[in-house]
Amino acid sequence: MPLFEDTQEERDFRLVLKKFIAKEMTPYREEWDKNRAVPREAWKKIGRQGFLCTWLPEEYGGAGLNFRYSVIIGQELIRGDAMGIGVPNHSEVAVPYIYSFGSEELKERLLPKTTTGEAIACICVTEPNAGSDAAAIRTKAVKDGDYYILNGQKTFITNGTFADIMVVVCKAESPDDPSSKKISIIVVEGDSLKYVKRRQLEKMGRHATDTSEIFFEDCPVPVGNLLGKEGEGFKYTMQELGRERLEVCIKCQAYAEECLKEAINYAKIREAFGKPIGNFEHISFELAQMATDVEIGRTFLHTCVEEFIMGEDITMKVSMAKAWLAEMANRVAYKAVQIHGGYGYMAEYRICRLYQDVRVLPIFAGTTEIMNIIIARKLGFKPIF
């Protein structure tokens, strides 16, 4: 079920990617899940094939491809059970900050490594006491000569355990005036990483993806690693959030499609009371509603992707899409497990893993509640905090 009618080039790209995933990723899913890690070599392999940061211009090691290719990658990783590798977070969330706001020196030094898999990137916004309320972050960067000294704690950071490049949202504080705390973004990498401690977290699903708590302890970061200007960080995150949320929408849709597929296949082969369960009216109607949900999601996502590629402001639409698609994927996954009966609860069944994976979709990259606040504001209301 393609989101778009692929062009010939996109079809070729998808086919090569599919084959790569089937050979180099799908067979290792169980091992990676068990180890709670994807080996570095897998990142390098996917990088060598040119599937990391495909959108980056050629001068930085990318292929200069448009966002439709990012959609194809997001879809195929889920279809091939290879979502354990945190490619979308790396390629579509963390690296775009460096490309959009980094100095030329930083871009030339770091971006090529992000396309080869030599360097894994993560984005560090969330803190133990600042999730939805991102403005409440406390991680601070105090300027000391040619360095910022970074102190603070981040949590729930995807790719956090193995990241070589951390895009960190913090408050830059002037030593002369500690009251002036300006939200800023700095890139922690190279020798600075010696001052970073990490603790990998156990999750409900997505076991192969490393998610970590991160501690910065008097971590010196060269001033040249500041992205853009001090104090402009909040504006930059607002600018990049649309893409991040769109990337989650792609996941939601792909997961919902896979859950539907599993449910339809199972309803055709599982028999009860002497006939395939899909022939019971209730189950066939459930499947009909799930298929309708998935079709609506596909149309909505298509519109958002098209508008994003055309450079339109998708803030409101992508908030609606993130809220609706994440809940839809969960609705479809829930029903798909139900249709599988007890087998749906068994870890060896694919639907069980899909169900575990989808639960986080309405939570990360802005919860459904926060999406509704954004939409309500755009409608002219002022939800009370």
Active site residues: 244
Q: Which of 66, 132, 174, 265 binds ligand FAD (CB under 6 A)?
A: 132
Query: How far apart are CB 383 and ligand FAD at their closest, in Å?
Result: 7
Q: Does 124 bind ligand FAD (CB under 6 A)?
A: yes
**Token pair 């490309």: residue:** 99
Contact 84, 38 (CB under 8 A): yes
Q: Which of 184, 211, 212, 237 binds ligand FAD (CB under 6 A)?
A: 211
Nearest to 78 by CA among 209, 204, 258, 247: 258
Q: Which stretch binds ligand FAD (CB under 6 A): 74-82, 155-163, 230-238, 263-271?
A: 155-163
Among left, alpha and beta (phi > 0; psi -120 to 50; other), residue 145 is left
Write out the binding residues for ligand FAD, residues 89-118 only, by CB under 6 A. 89
Residue (71 or 124) nearer to ligand FAD, CB: 124
| Beta strand 165-173 pairing with 121-124 | parallel
Write out the binding residues for ligand FAD, residues 45-64 only, by CB under 6 A. none
d(C-alpha 255, C-alpha 201), whole Å: 23
Query: How far apart are CB 279 and ligand FAD at their closest, in Å?
Result: 39
Q: Which of 71, 360, 361, 374 binds ligand FAD (CB under 6 A)?
A: 360
Question: Can you list the pairs that 277-282 forms with residues at least 24 positions away whose Cβ atoms lie under 8 Å?
Answer: 277/339
For the record, the structure tokens of 273 come out as 């009371």
For residue 35, the SS3 value is helix
Query: How far apart are CB 340 and ligand FAD at their closest, in Å?
Result: 24
Q: Which residues, at least 6 apart from 155, have a Cβ–Cβ distance to it below 8 Å?
A: 126, 127, 128, 201, 212, 213, 214
Query: How far apart are CB 88 and ligand FAD at their closest, in Å?
Result: 10
Q: Does 367 bind ligand FAD (CB under 6 A)?
A: yes
d(C-alpha 379, C-alpha 277), whole Å: 44
Residue (62 or 362) nearer to ligand FAD, CB: 362
Write out the binding residues for ligand FAD, residues 156-185 only, by CB under 6 A. 156-158
CA distance readout (Å), 304 to 3, 7, 18, 172, 278: 11, 19, 24, 34, 33
Q: Which of 108, 295, 312, 369 binds ligand FAD (CB under 6 A)?
A: 369
Residue 383 DSSP class: -
Contact 108, 56 (CB under 8 A): no
Query: How far apart are CB 325 and ligand FAD at their closest, in Å?
Result: 16
Q: Which stretch binds ligand FAD (CB under 6 A): 120-128, 215-223, 307-315, 320-328?
A: 120-128
Query: How far apart are CB 139 and ligand FAD at their closest, in Å?
Result: 11
Rg (CA), the chain: 21
Q: Does 126 bind ligand FAD (CB under 6 A)?
A: yes
Q: Please identify the residue of the shown chain whose CB is closest to the bound ligand FAD.
A: 131
Query: How far apart are CB 126 and ligand FAD at their closest, in Å?
Result: 3
Contact 158, 89 (CB under 8 A): yes
Residue (119 or 373) nearer to ligand FAD, CB: 373
Q: Which stretch binds ligand FAD (CB under 6 A): 39-47, 216-224, 225-233, 363-371?
A: 363-371
Residue (156 or 300) nearer to ligand FAD, CB: 156
Residue (129 or 292) nearer to ligand FAD, CB: 129
Helices 233-269 and 67-79 meet at what angle, rounded to 10?
A: 40
For the record, the structure tokens of 322 come out as 């993130």
Q: Does 363 bind ligand FAD (CB under 6 A)?
A: yes
Judged on CB neighbours under 10 Å (0-12, 13-18, 19+), 200 is: middle
Query: How far apart are CB 52 and ligand FAD at their closest, in Å?
Result: 17
Q: Does 125 bind ligand FAD (CB under 6 A)?
A: yes
SS3 of 324-378: HHHHHHHHHHHHHHHHCHHHHHCCCCHHHHHHHHHCCCCCCCCCHHHHHHHHHHH
Residue (20 or 97) nearer to ligand FAD, CB: 97
Residue ranges that bind ligand FAD, judged by CB under 6 A: 89, 122-126, 131-132, 156-158, 203, 211, 360, 363-367, 369-370, 373, 385
